[in-house]
Amino acid sequence: MLYHHFATQEEIDRAYDPMLGRDPSMLVKEWRQRSEASRARHRVSLDLPFGPTLAERMDIFHADTPNAPLHVFFHGGYWRSLSHREFSFIVDGLVKAGITVAVVNYALCPQVRFSEVVRQSQAAVAYVYRHAAELGVEPGQLSISGHSAGGHLCAMLMSTDWEGTFGLPNQLIRGALCISGLYDLRPFPWSWLQPKLQLSGRDVQEFSPLWLPCLMPAPIKLVAGGLESEEFERQMSRYAEHLSQQGQTVTQQLLPNVDHFSILEHYLDDGCFVEWIEAFHGL
């Protein structure tokens, strides 16, 4: 077996390619149109640099609330495609609730090593925490979420030694929402993604949240879509078990009637993601 019960690359590809049966160009076109409308309706600081490279940029959507809570979102694309600009549409319900939102961009594989994607995600959180006063947000009210690869990055942020690496408190994150995340990287070296990701055995070991301690004493919400392949639910359940064994506050939920992409609709005004993120901040 290559991984779990999969004997061939074709089997792994079917389980881990959510675009099968979808038109990616139409999907991304819709996201871009909706995101352009969201950027037009909010007060937003575009392409704020948080690091030295061109890719290290974020868009900040400002709530009207003084010293607002801050939510940081990490996009998907299997670490090798898309950008922050496709995902502005997720902010509307949160800004309406009085939460400022940072939508983060990061460099993509294979232009950078996988480890650099993780480092840039850490740098984004360190930046907003250190610059909270300039951004008009409360540093003690910071939460994170991410979709697909972004869900993996959020899990990595929960395993970061913030004090030892950045000199920041290990309590800086109030809560994490990981959506359709990937927590065990072992299938990907055998998959269609490997030419882009170029994962080494060391990468798989060091950047699989399933094998890392969670260092952040904050609640974690894990979700996947009922219409996704069973592997997304299995990865979610295994990671939930891993967190529970460490005494973490973790809940998992399989949302019915949504796939890997329509699950993002739960960020809209009446979506459960807004409610859960509000709960992280005591709103």
Q: Is 250 part of a structural domain of the chain?
A: no
Confidence (pLDDT) at 60:
98
Half-sphere exposure of residue 158: CA atoms within 13 angstroms, side-chain side: 36
Does residue 235 form part of some domain?
A: no
Residue 120 in any domain: the answer is yes
Looking at residue 161, which CATH number applies to its domain? Answer: 3.40.50.1820
Position 242 confidence tier, pLDDT thresholds 50, 70, 90: very high
Q: Is residue 132 part of a domain?
A: yes
**Cα angle, residue 258 at apex, residues 238 and 39 outer, rounded to 5°:** 105
Q: What angle do CA 65, 132, 49 make, to 5 degrees?
A: 110
pLDDT(22) > 90: no
In a domain, 263, yes or no: no
* Mean pLDDT over each residue of the chain, to the nearest integer: 96
φ, ψ of residue 96 in degrees (nearest 5):
-60, -30
Residue 180 maps to a domain: yes
Question: What is the reported pTM?
Answer: 0.98
Reported as a single tens digit per residue, the pLDDT across 25-45 is 999 999 999 999 999 999 999
- Give the mean pLDDT of 3-27: 91
Cα dist from 62 to 59, 94, 101, 136, whole Å: 10, 10, 7, 8
Q: Is residue 48 part of a domain?
A: yes
* Per-residue confidence (pLDDT) for residue 64, from 0 to 100: 95
* pLDDT tens digits along 122-151: 999 999 999 999 999 999 999 999 999 999
Over residues 244-270, mean pLDDT: 95
Write the pLDDT tens digit of every residue in 183-219: 999 999 999 999 999 999 999 999 999 999 999 999 9
Provide the domain limits for residue 193.
Answer: 9-220
Query: How many domains does one find in the chain?
Result: 1
pLDDT at 152 over 90: yes
Q: How far apart, in whole angstroms, are the C-alpha atoms of residue 126 and residue 168?
A: 8
Has residue 16 got a pLDDT over 80? yes
- Would you place residue 155 in the very low, low, confident or very high pLDDT band (cuts 50, 70, 90)? very high
Judge whether residue 269 has pLDDT over 80: no
pLDDT at position 270 over 80 = no
What is the per-residue DSSP string for 26-74?
HHHHHHHHHHHHHHHHS-EEEEEE-SSSTT-EEEEE--SSTTEEEEEEE
pLDDT of residue 271: 86
Inside any domain, residue 82: yes
Count CA atoms within 13 Å of residue 18 on its CB side. Answer: 25
